Amino acid sequence: MKKKLLSLLTAVLLCAFFLTGCSATQRKVEDEALVQTLTERAQETIDTIAKADDARLQELLDYYGLKGREPDRAFLSGLQSWENNRDELTGEMTVRGIEVIENLGNETYVAVGDLGFDSRDCEFRMVFNHQLENQSITFNPVYSFGEKMQKAGMNTLIGIFTVFLMLALISVIIYCFKFIHVWEEKRAAANNPAPAPAPAAAPVTRAIEPEPEEETEEDDTELVAVIAAAIAASEGTSPDGLVVRSIRRVSGARWKRA
C-alpha cells in the first residue's frame, strides 16, 4: 500500500513539474511599444478578415494565395482558417481584448485575441517571429464541454460504424470467394473438357473344368472272367495266363465310332 501511495505521489509531482515547465515557456510581454505595435497589427488583421463579405474574402484569397500577385503563406493561413470556421462564428463580432505573450520555446510573439460572436466565442492567434514578421494566423472557435463531448461521441460512433461496415464488407467478399471458385472450375472444365470414359472391360469368366470322373473299380469276378476269356479267345491263348488289373468304363459314343 505504501508503495502505491509513493508511486501516485511521484506521478503527481512529475505532472506538476511538467506543467510548471510548460507555463514557464510563456510570459507576458512587458515592452509597451512592442505590445501596442503587435496589438494594432492583430486588430487590423481581425477587421480585414472577419469583417469581409464573401466577395471580398474570395478576392483576398486570390490576391494573397500562392498563385496570386502577392503570395503570403501566413496571411493565407488566416484567410483559410476563417473560411473554414465562419459558419460557426455568426452574428456581430466583439473584440474583448488582445494580449501579447512571448513563447520562449520557439522564440516567437503571439497576439491572442478574445473575440465574441452571437453564436459562440472565438480565440484569435497571430504568431510573429522576433523580427516581427507574421508566421501564422488562426481562428479557433471555443466549444462548451457538452459540445466537445457531443462531437467526441459522434466521432466515436462514426468510427465504430466505419469499422463494422468494413468488417461486413470483408465478410461479403470472403463469402463471394465460394462463387468465384465455382465459376473458375466451370470455366476450366469448359476450356479443358474431360476425356470420354473408357468402356468397361468385359467380366472375365473362367470355364470350370469338369472334374475327371473317378475310376471306380468293380470287383466283379464274373465280369473279369468273361473279359479274360474273350481276350484269350481273340489271342488264341489260355485265360489262365491273363491278369486283369483294372476295369474302366468307356462312354457309349466311343462304342458307336467303333
Q: Quick: pLDDT tens for 118-167.
A: 999 999 999 999 898 999 999 999 988 888 888 889 899 999 999 999 99
Last residue of a domain, one of 84, 118, 142: 142
216 falls within a domain? no
17 falls within a domain? no
In this structure, the answer to whether residues 133 and 152 fall within a common structural domain is no
In this structure, the answer to whether residues 137 and 150 fall within a common structural domain is no
Instruction: Return mean pLDDT, the chain.
Output: 79
- Residue carrying the nine cell digits 470556421: 85
119 falls within a domain? yes
Cell triple for 13 = 509531482
Q: Give me Rg for the CA atoms of the chain.
A: 59
In this structure, the answer to whether residues 135 and 26 fall within a common structural domain is yes
- How many Cβ atoms sit within 10 Å of the Cβ of residue 72? 15
Cell triple for 14 = 512529475
- How many Cβ atoms sit within 10 Å of the Cβ of residue 105? 11
In this structure, the answer to whether residues 151 and 229 fall within a common structural domain is no
In this structure, the answer to whether residues 98 and 154 fall within a common structural domain is no
The model's pTM is 0.52
Cell triple for 50 = 472577419
9 falls within a domain? no
Dihedral (CA of 99, 100, 101, 103) sign: positive
In this structure, the answer to whether residues 27 and 121 fall within a common structural domain is yes
Last residue of a domain, one of 86, 114, 142: 142
Amino acid at position 8, single letter? L
**Can you give the residue range of the structural domain that contains 98?**
22-142
Q: What is the pLDDT of residue 13?
A: 59
In this structure, the answer to whether residues 134 and 244 fall within a common structural domain is no
pLDDT in tens, 8-27: 556 655 665 555 554 458 88
The total number of structural domains in the chain stands at 3
193 falls within a domain? no
Residues shown for the chain: 258
Give the CA distances from residue 197 to residues 147, 162, 185, 193, in Å, rounded to whole numbers and listed in that order: 76, 54, 20, 12
Q: What is the pLDDT of residue 151?
A: 82
205 falls within a domain? no
196 falls within a domain? no
In this structure, the answer to whether residues 85 and 98 fall within a common structural domain is yes
In this structure, the answer to whether residues 134 and 26 fall within a common structural domain is yes
Amino acid at position 174, single letter? I
CATH of the domain at 107: 3.10.450
Last residue of a domain, one of 82, 109, 142: 142
pLDDT in tens, 45-78: 999 999 999 899 988 888 887 666 667 888 999 9
In this structure, the answer to whether residues 150 and 125 fall within a common structural domain is no
178 falls within a domain? yes
In this structure, the answer to whether residues 26 and 135 fall within a common structural domain is yes
In this structure, the answer to whether residues 68 and 152 fall within a common structural domain is no
pLDDT in tens, 157-205: 999 999 999 999 998 888 888 788 788 888 887 777 666 666 666 665 5
Q: Which residues of 130-167 are buried (b: 16+ CB within 10 A; e: fewer)?
A: eeeebebbbbebeeeeeeeeeeeeeeeeeeeeeeeeee
